[in-house]
Structure 1
């Protein structure tokens, strides 16, 4: 058994490394910059309270600070904690399924998770989603194992602690609390009285945070006030977002690039049509229904499947309609993990009706579709800025460019501790100007354009007078070439066409 465990974890880890390498994103100059700055403040100031909703996520920021303290400032060091949480999450899933379902279910679910785009994307972008997922899964692990343990009360207390840490990472984990609440009302899994032990663990974490906030600021609710005010400020800055009445902090727009028909069905369309999920939910929804309601399913398997189905459903509904976060696929990380678990259990239960070759073919199909989804996604949002950084490293003088590329380029230079200057000031005669078509010719871009300091300076009108000294072209994707050859460009929205035409927008 121990040999199989090590062998399977090695297989899953190898697969995960391959998919991470294939779709590696790295530093992108957005939220990750905020987390990096918060981590650096912890190191420079000692105790640090945080001033934005990013910096008060201590469970996400402190591991980054620890990484910097041990290995120094750097792009990989910024991503290292996310990688640790990712692999730890895979191990938890494997251990849970291997113990309660079987080796095959554990291996299938983990291989599927390692190839699921949304999991890989958030891991290589320093997102708090994978940190939150780890603590959620850790809580589930202790909760599910507690009834079989000689130290049940301790395990339930730790399950509550982990749930509290998930909450401190991001408030979307209220969905986990709702699931535990529903199980409490139904009297399922453990005696109702024991749920109070979990609650004690959860509130212990909140009490520690409140005490820390009181000592640092005098306000035990500092964290929540900061989150609310910070989110409000961010929403007011983004013209693509509009506040509506449905839900708390509801954002109604297609800024995330989702297919949008009507707010009531947009979340379902997102999980079924977005490239971040592949065919995951097409398989997991029918699998979940079958596992939960078929009388032929092993009772123990059904109970675990019902739990993960409930977790996925409650999380989906809470995020989509309660918190109004359906625009961002990464908020469906937990439903994605639950879906992979359900598929793993379903494949084990279907062994009597589907041959081994058939099951291998279906899993291969899921993974191949995931690979295609990696291909069509833009996996380098800072392609232009990385090119500017390379140019700045080669030239012994400042590089001038648009405001957005200058901002992100300098952040990249700082995080990688590289020499060079990228400026958005008005370039003097004879200076080197780094021209980025997608940010200066009204082509749809990945990032919001920063206001230029010199709006009267219009480089697109001056290009004919310049002398080209350096060029970097990402080349085109085969998908874009095929669309053009088949005369389908007129039927594809511009933003989608550019994503399919270039590995990164030019």
Structure 2
């Protein structure tokens, strides 16, 4: 596809691919602070359930928008069918998508801005905490980003070569991004604006691009028509996902309405960082302040200000910034998505590209101190965020032991615990406490065990090195550590009950 980006040593002539350092950083963070999937109560659990269905029965007819996202569900189902259900098999497909997204991003930056910029940009992306933290989690963020990067790289090649075949590849890749998450449709207005800027002989490439995209989406629609008599079944599932109850929206919001241009949604999504100024700017302010991606965004803004002349002179860098901003506006204020960081990989990827391009030029021009300082901050933030994630492996092992030791028919649990322990043997078979009120209740939480006679309680927290304990104790870079508690409680019987 793209030519190999490489950085050559003037002393030895040895060539290092531009993706080598970013990939080493990504895998280093994943391996140094492994966060294998054990379960969860959010979207991840729904994707796991859909993949389980695919593993057992082949692709299942989706009844939720989660199950309709075949570019994630289908390969996950295949892996689970072939290799069994374990934390590493659940995380394998997300990890491969994450690596592919990083390599394709580096290829995009290298093709336009050169190898040095690509290496720094890829490093900035790999050090954006959200990117490595989600590498092993079954979410559509990584597949959507990878297919988008593949589409953009194919567009670059098609335009360079004036090649209809590569334009068709680009259309197919972006169709897969839309099939992964329908919010990728927000790319179409941006691509339309880009098309208007093309020379007349390049505009014809829109035909094979559109034909390939329509063909792939048409195959999906045909499959739905054959299965349900409704070719728009998948689209309807996606459009109606806003009706699903969520704690991320304020109470009282009518979720029966379409999310498109829905001011009630835009105003009432829970702010990730608790910043409330005005609904028109709250999403952006919270995104900039969020430790999952904020340092990359703010670092890019700071470097663009410090190198304002270089930024203004680079037409492509300005276009990247404008495209990222328009994409943010379309998602936030038109599609009214929940404005959490994971919805905006193109925003922090554009910021990483800015850091890479301007950083490489600053380094070349003698401004090495500011570049080194920025990347040291990114690395420190990434390391601390990776370290500070809750590790449920010990709780999972304890829960597996407790379930195995309990007499048959003795335990129940709650929905959150059952989903969080999705890969714990026996957890999925436990009834809910409300359906079996006389059973001992196994729960996972962050509050002391209560609600009856506490039979067992296990508390999981880190024994930290002194420097990290000092930082946490003084509220510097690390928040307060809240222990995770595993409880086994025998509920108190109602007065007068008994045998």
The Cα shift of 1:199 comes to 1.7
Cα distance change, pair 484–328 in 1 and its aligned pair in 2 (3 A): closer
**Is residue 198 of structure 1 aligned with residue 209 of structure 2?**
yes
Residue equivalent to 1:262: 278
For residue 119 of structure 1, give the secondary structure of its aligned residue in structure 2. Answer: helix
**Matching residue within 328, 335, 347 for 1:335:** 347
**Matching residue within 494, 500, 504 for 2:480:** 500
Pairing of 1:312-331 with structure 2 (within 5 A):
312-331=324-343
Residue equivalent to 1:474: 461
Residue equivalent to 1:156: 167
**Matching residue within 258, 265, 270 for 1:250:** 265
Structure 1 gap segments, 5+ residues each:
442-458
Q: Conserved in 2, the CA contact under 8 Å of 1:413 and 1:420?
A: no
Task: For residues 56-78 of structure 1, give each alpha carbon's deviation from its aligned partner in whole angstroms, at most 9, with x where no partner exists.
Answer: 11112111112123322222212
Pairing of 1:81-96 with structure 2 (within 5 A):
81-96=93-108
**Counterparts of 2:200 and 2:373 in 1: how far apart (Å)?**
35
**Counterparts of 1:265 and 1:119 in 2: how far apart (Å)?**
24
Cα distance change, pair 101–461 in 1 and its aligned pair in 2 (3 A): closer
The Cα shift of 1:345 comes to 0.8
TM-score, scaled relative to structure 2 = 0.80
**Is residue 145 of structure 1 aligned with residue 134 of structure 2?**
no
Structure 2 gap segments, 5+ residues each:
8-14, 487-499
Pairing of 1:177-256 with structure 2 (within 5 A):
177-187=188-198, 191-235=202-246, 240=251, 242-243=253-254, 247-248=261-262, 250=265, 252-254=268-270, 256=272
Q: Conserved in 1, the CA contact under 8 Å of 2:300 and 2:352?
A: yes
**Counterparts of 2:290 and 2:306 in 1: how far apart (Å)?**
24
For residue 60 of structure 1, give the secondary structure of its aligned residue in structure 2. Answer: helix
The Cα shift of 1:33 comes to 2.2
**Is residue 105 of structure 1 aligned with residue 93 of structure 2?**
no
Q: Please state which structure has a larger fraction of its residues in helix.
A: 1
Cα distance change, pair 259–374 in 1 and its aligned pair in 2 (3 A): farther
**Counterparts of 1:383 and 1:352 in 2: how far apart (Å)?**
48
**Alpha carbon RMSD of aligned pairs, Å?**
3.8
Cα distance change, pair 282–57 in 1 and its aligned pair in 2 (3 A): same
Q: Please state which structure has a larger fraction of its residues in strand.
A: 2
Residue equivalent to 1:455: none
For residue 333 of structure 2, give the secondary structure of its aligned residue in structure 1. Answer: helix
Cα distance change, pair 272–190 in 1 and its aligned pair in 2 (3 A): farther
The Cα shift of 1:329 comes to 1.5
Pairing of 1:410-425 with structure 2 (within 5 A):
411-413=422-424, 424=433
Residue equivalent to 1:16: 26
Aligned residue-pair number: 467
Q: Conserved in 2, the CA contact under 8 Å of 1:259 and 1:266?
A: yes
The Cα shift of 1:225 comes to 1.7
TM-score, scaled relative to structure 1 = 0.79
Cα distance change, pair 409–369 in 1 and its aligned pair in 2 (3 A): closer
**Counterparts of 2:377 and 2:470 in 1: how far apart (Å)?**
23
